[in-house]
Amino acid sequence: MRKYALGIALALTLNVGTANAGPNDDTLRIAWGGELATLDRYYNVLREGIVVGRLVWDSLLYKDPKSLEFKPLLAKSFRFVNPTTMEFELRQGIVFHNGERFDADDVVYTLTYVSNPENGVLTQRNVKWIKSVEKLGDYKVRLTMKQPTPTALEFLAGPLLIYPNEYYAKVGPKGMGTKPVGTGPYRVVGFKPGESISFERNNSYFDGSPKGKPKISKIVQRTIPDRNTQITELFSGTIDWIWKVPADQAERLAGRPGIQVVNEQTLRIGYLSFDSSNRTGNNSPVNNPLVRKAIAHAINRTAIVTKLVGGSSVVVHSACHPDQFGCEQAVTKYEYDPKKAKKLLAQAGYPDGFTIDFHAYRNRPYAEAIMGFLQAVGIKTNLVYLKYAALRDKVYAGKIDFNFMTWGSYSFNDVSAITSHFFKGTRDDYARNKKLIADLELGDSSVDRKVRKAAYSRALKTIAANAYWVPLFTYNVNYAFSDKLDFTPTPDEIPRFFAAGWK
């Protein structure tokens, strides 16, 4: 006992030593909650995987987070030969972290490998539009699509990272998952799956990359599942950067010396979804458009945004994020008007309201606020709060009359990633409107931006006029980090540490 007590006393007098994070040793220490099992971007589905992907690899194109323009990255230039064919001239003189030279073979190998369904890339949506990729010269490739794919540029500037062909052929996804090799601004020097990743600056990162030259020499990532622990690490200076801090904690953090909190929008929106086509067979009151409109009028979305969601969030009226391409804003708007809501309910044959199950999976306080507003006009709700996967099972099975959902559009700045996902007659679709489906089909398959815009505009107007959804608000993310760090978040929720530096 005495020895043990002595041991503890001794330990307490030792200093931590590692507490001097930040510019002193030019090391950026970041923490997040997600456990990355593999760093091979084609075989993980976490957002943290996207962040690592952008550090370690490059794609053919780059989407500027400010201007939203597509710029060539590994490509020197690109052009559409016809709606289903693209050609790329590639940059010369780029080398992978292991010294392998970057050329057309790498592009052909990577894109051919990932688009082959047998290789089991987890997010098939990203790759299944590719028909073939051919080498036209050492630094020239041609990509052929299965059908016109308006979102091709998004894929080529996002998830489609280019791997070194010789290395990948040798080590496969397992080797790439533990010892990744790319052309990107940082190389991985240490990886403990689910625990930590260490990065070192790629000093020979190529000139002229729209990503810019990396500044900080080392980045160390640690997985800390508990939010409070992350915050205490930030306080004690052993971590420089965390994100997804809840609004109430962010407020308190913002007042602490040495810490800055920045709020940034994301592409995620929250919405209420109804069974408009009686898919459940319950003959639910929400089958009636008057009831759906009544619900839309009953909820004070502005109050929810200002009092609960906070940050840079805004109320949305259209079934998409306002920043997305094609997100028509001139749609029917339902302002907060409980009297009108009651009138509509009476018209629909529910003068005394009704009782309905209300499903949700996240942000319970928001769901409860919505329930309060509904109660005020006579609609009683039973909250059924489920895990995401469980609720999605029920949605797919056609068992949900009324729910509060959110959608992040997997960072795609295009309404095809949200509106088409939910209203094209798939198992997510509870509207089942043929005209709407046809409009979305047209928007998704045309490469003429004007045609697409017009088609999506019609679709979004139909959705709003029928109140198939009640779009609620955009989400935001709070980033908390050392005030010595120069870091700018972007609305696509992909932190770009290669652009970060010290003040």
Distance CA 337, CA 301 (A): 11
For residue 296, CA distances in Å to 405, 457, 496 come to 15, 20, 38
For residue 6, CA distances in Å to 14, 15, 137 come to 13, 16, 71
Which stretch in 74-82, 222-230, 459-467, 486-494 sits in contact with another protein by CB under 8 A? 222-230
Tokens of 372: 């309060």
Amino acid found at 371: M
Check if the beta carbon of residue 263 is closer than 8 Å to that of residue 299.
no
**Residue 20 beta carbon to another protein: minimum distance, rounded to whole angstroms:** 11
Q: Could you say whether residue 175 binds another protein (CB under 8 A)?
A: no
Contact with another protein (CB under 8 A) among 193, 289, 322, 338 = 193
Instruction: Give the three-class secondary structure for 368.
Output: helix
Contact with another protein (CB under 8 A) among 120, 190, 208, 349 = 120
Residue 477: which H helix or E strand, with range? Answer: strand 469-482
Q: Could you say whether residue 224 binds another protein (CB under 8 A)?
A: yes
**Complex with another protein: residue 65 or 193, whichever CB lies closer:** 193
Q: Could you say whether residue 244 binds another protein (CB under 8 A)?
A: no
Contact with another protein (CB under 8 A) among 82, 98, 232, 382 = 232
Quickly count: other Cβ atoms within 10 Å of residue 503's Cβ. Answer: 9
**Residue 226 beta carbon to another protein: minimum distance, rounded to whole angstroms:** 5
Q: Which of residues 418-447 bind another protein (CB under 8 A)?
A: 421, 426-427
Orientation of helix 364-376 relative to helix 289-298, angle to 10°: 110
Distance CA 60, CA 245 (A): 33
**Residue 64 beta carbon to another protein: minimum distance, rounded to whole angstroms:** 23
Q: Which of residues 15-54 bind another protein (CB under 8 A)?
A: 15-16, 18-19, 35, 37-38, 43, 45-46
Which stretch in 72-80, 135-143, 234-242, 286-294 sits in contact with another protein by CB under 8 A? 234-242
Instruction: Specify the DSSP class assigned to residue 149.
Output: -
Which stretch in 83-91, 300-308, 382-390, 442-450 sits in contact with another protein by CB under 8 A? 382-390
**Complex with another protein: residue 119 or 332, whichever CB lies closer:** 119
Q: For residue 174, count CB atoms less than 10 angstroms from its CB and return exposed for 0-12, middle for 13-18, buried for 19 or more.
A: exposed
Which stretch in 88-96, 171-179, 244-252, 373-381 sits in contact with another protein by CB under 8 A? 171-179
Q: Could you say whether residue 333 binds another protein (CB under 8 A)?
A: no
Check if the beta carbon of residue 125 is closer than 8 Å to that of residue 411.
no
Q: Could you say whether residue 174 binds another protein (CB under 8 A)?
A: yes
Distance CA 350, CA 348 (A): 6
In angstroms, the first-to-last Cα distance of the chain is: 49
Where on the chain is the footprint of another protein (CB under 8 A)?
1, 4, 8, 11-16, 18-19, 35, 37-38, 43, 45-46, 117, 120, 122-125, 128, 173-174, 177, 192-195, 222-226, 228-229, 232-233, 235-238, 387-390, 392-393, 396, 408-410, 417, 421, 426-427
